[in-house]
Amino acid sequence: MMPRSFARAAVLPLLLGGCAYQRYQSDFGAAGVEDRQFLTLFWIFLGVCAFMYALVIIFLGAGIARSRRAAEANVVETGRHHRSHPLMRSTLIGWAALIGVGLAGLAIASFFTDRSMAAAAANEKLSVTVTGNQWWWDIVYNSGDASKTLRTANELHLPVGVPTRIILNSADVIHSFWVPSLAGKQDLIPGRENDIIIVPKTIGMFRGQCAEFCGVQHAHMSLVVVVESYPDFVKWWSHQLQPAPMPTTPLAMAGYKYVTTGPCSACHSIGGTTAGGLVAPDLTHLASRRSLAAGTLPMNEGNLYGWVEDPQSLKPGVHMPTIGLEPDQLHAVVAYLETLK
């Protein structure tokens, strides 16, 4: 029983490889134009490399098999009169030519993939600025109309089929923006502005993760990407533009007062309130997001309690301090945060 289930556990992912089960965060996700182009090029490279590898192994194996027969002759072929097989020199030239042609082919394939990625990205329809911070993502949806500019964090919504330019900055160290199922990575470098254009092709939820080591909690700097239909996306945007609703229950009201006047507001901002800190994630629609602390925890009441009470034990080293809330304050703050849908 035991070995069989183990075997299944080991073999299934091998067989599925890049199939549905690993769409969430995987080079095999094929949910964006860039990743699809990557995969095509990857299989071409793999094919060519496997062919070259097979040649090497066949030559090696044949050489070993051939030489074993002659092994009993312990004769040395010395420097002055050693002989090679007469064809060996021309084979060497052929081998060099084969490598040259193979590499040239791969380089050209790589070049054209690169250019077609650039071409697919040429007509962007949407622009989002993502700023890397130790260890979370600040996200701003740019719009010509200032009232439609949206600031959020750690959850990126993209309309399917729409080329979106993501402008990349960093507020501290170098990070790298990487949603493998959609596209390759691009660094966020302080003092520089990079960009990457993503054309999502599949509706669904994907996970991205910082790919450049950025300090203690590099492992917990991830990002939820939601690809949705254009109407859903517009609905989401206009909802997110709404200011936070005033709480209706007394408990949430107490939380509202604590959050907007207490230490939280020094770093966080909540639309429609006096909380206006800019160094930590925007909380206006916190409870509508799917994760907490840049993908560290799924969003639910229990995790909100745990996170607000003691972030340092859940994500050690995070810049959010453990404040030491009294139990009634904690209840109130969580009750308020849960209203931020």
Partner 1 sequence: MTDVRADTFDLGRRENERERVEAENRRLEQERKKIARDGPKLKGEKLASRLDATWRRPPGIIGWLASVDHKEIGRRYMLTALAFLVLGGVLALAMRVQLAQPDSALISAERYNQLFTMHGSTMMFLFAVPVMEGVAVYIIPLMVGTRSTAFPRLNAFSYFMYLFGGLMLWIAFALNIAPDMGWFAYTPLSGPQFSPGKRADVWAQMITFTEVSALAAAVVLVCTILKARAPGMTLSRMPLFAWAMLVQAVMIIFAMPAVALCSSMLISDRTLGTNFYNAAEHGDALLWQHLFWFFGHPEVYIIFIPATGFVSEITATFCRRPIFAHAVVVLALISTGILAFGLWVHHMFATGLPRVGYSFFTAASMSVSIPTGLQIFCWLATIWDGRPRFQVPMLYVVGFIITFVIGGLSGVMVAAVPLDLQLHDTYFVVAHFHYVLIGGAVFPLLAAFTYWYPKITGRMMDETLGKISFWLVFLGFHLTFFPMHWSGMLGMPRRVYTYPAGLGLEVPNLLSTVGAFVLAAALGLFVINGLISLYRGVIAGPNPWGAPTLEWLTSSPPPVYNFAHIPVVESDTPLWDSADGEYPVVTGLRVDQKETLLTTVVAAAPDTREPIPQASLWPFISAIAVGIVFVASIFSPWAVAVGVIPCFIALTAWFWPKELKRHPEPVIT
Give 94's contacts (C-beta < 8 A, 6+ positions apart).
none
- Choose which of 174, 203, 267, 323 interacts with partner 1 (CB under 8 A): 174
Nearest to partner 1 of 209, 265 (CB atom)? 209
Give yes or no for residue 214 binding partner 1 (CB under 8 A): yes
Note whether 305 binds partner 1 by CB under 8 A.
no
| Site membership for partner 1, residue 63 (CB under 8 A) | yes
The rounded radius of gyration (Å) of the Cα atoms in the chain is: 28
C-alpha distances out from residue 55 to 44, 59, 89, 176, 289, Å: 17, 6, 17, 38, 52
Question: Binding to partner 1 by residue 110, rule CB under 8 A?
Answer: yes
Q: Please return the burial class of 164, using the count of CB atoms within 10 Å of its CB with bins 0-12, 13-18 and 19+.
A: buried
Please identify which residue in 25, 127, 143, 260 interacts with partner 1, judged by CB under 8 A.
25
Q: How far apart are alpha carbons 92 and 172 in whole angstroms?
A: 52
Confirm or reject binding of residue 307 to partner 1 (CB under 8 A): no
CB of 293 to partner 1, least distance (A): 13
Q: Does 92 bind partner 1 (CB under 8 A)?
A: yes
CB 305 within 8 A of CB 329: no
**Site track for partner 1 across 238-277, x = CB under 8 A:** ----------------------------------------
Applying CB under 8 A, which of residues 1, 4, 5, 66 lies at the interface with partner 1?
66
Of 120-149, binders to partner 1 (CB under 8 A) are 134
Tell which one of 183, 198, 252, 293 touches partner 1 (CB under 8 A).
Answer: 183
The closest alpha carbon to 255, from 266, 243, 247, belongs to 247
Least distance CB 332 / partner 1 (angstroms)? 31
Residue with Cβ nearer partner 1 (191 or 327): 191
Q: Which of 7, 47, 101, 103 binds partner 1 (CB under 8 A)?
A: 103
Whole-number minimum distance, CB 54 to partner 1, in Å? 10
Angle of the 250-261 helix axis to the 327-338 helix axis, nearest 10: 100
Q: Is 43 in the site for partner 1 (CB under 8 A)?
A: no
Burial class (CB in 10 A: 0-12, 13-18, 19+), 182: buried
Nearest CA among 3, 8, 281, 238 for reference residue 132: 281
Closest CB to partner 1 among residues 12, 246? 12
Selection from 248, 266, 240, 231 nearest residue 141 by Cα: 240
Half-sphere exposure of 80 (CA within 13 A, CB side): 0
Q: Which of 123, 125, 148, 192 binds partner 1 (CB under 8 A)?
A: 192
